[in-house]
Amino acid sequence: DTAVSQTPKYLVTQMGNDKSIKCEQNLGHDTMYWYKQDSKKFLKIMFSYNNKELIINETVPNRFSPKSPDKAHLNLHINSLELGDSAVYFCASSHRTGNTEAFFGQGTRLTVV
């Protein structure tokens, strides 16, 4: 069983389109995250949710809107996609805040053309 699963794994779309990436974790974790990894492999946190509530929004454009329907899901919707949005997006979860391990999904490679 996959602990943190993201779909789709690959996404190619045109500028201006709206797309969503889904994330589900079956670990019973309270906290979920979205990270963006650029072409240089720099991993940067975008959002952090705890018990379905937004905790961190790291100066992400408001074209990015996370939605957490329940503790096990954190989806990412992106409006009006731009070329600079091309990256690998990782969903992650952790049991609780603090010094705990974050489990990452396999990533979604988004390419905007």
List interacting residues with other proteins (CB under 8 A). 4, 31, 33, 35, 40-45, 48, 50, 55-56, 58, 90, 92, 96-107
C-beta closer to other proteins: residue 1 or 41: 41
C-beta closer to other proteins: residue 72 or 102: 102
C-beta closer to other proteins: residue 14 or 53: 53
Residue 82 beta carbon to other proteins: minimum distance, rounded to whole angstroms: 23
**CA–CA dist 33, 12 (Å, integer):** 22
Residue 6 beta carbon to other proteins: minimum distance, rounded to whole angstroms: 9
What distance, in Å, lies between the first and last C-alpha atoms of the chain? 34
C-beta closer to other proteins: residue 81 or 91: 91
**CA–CA dist 7, 64 (Å, integer):** 17
C-beta separation of 92 from 105 below 8 A? yes
Residue 81 beta carbon to other proteins: minimum distance, rounded to whole angstroms: 22
Residue 80 beta carbon to other proteins: minimum distance, rounded to whole angstroms: 27
Q: What is the 3-state secondary structure (H, E, C) of 12-65?
A: EECCCCCEEEEEEECCCCCEEEEEEECCCCCEEEEEEEECCEEEEECCCCCCEE
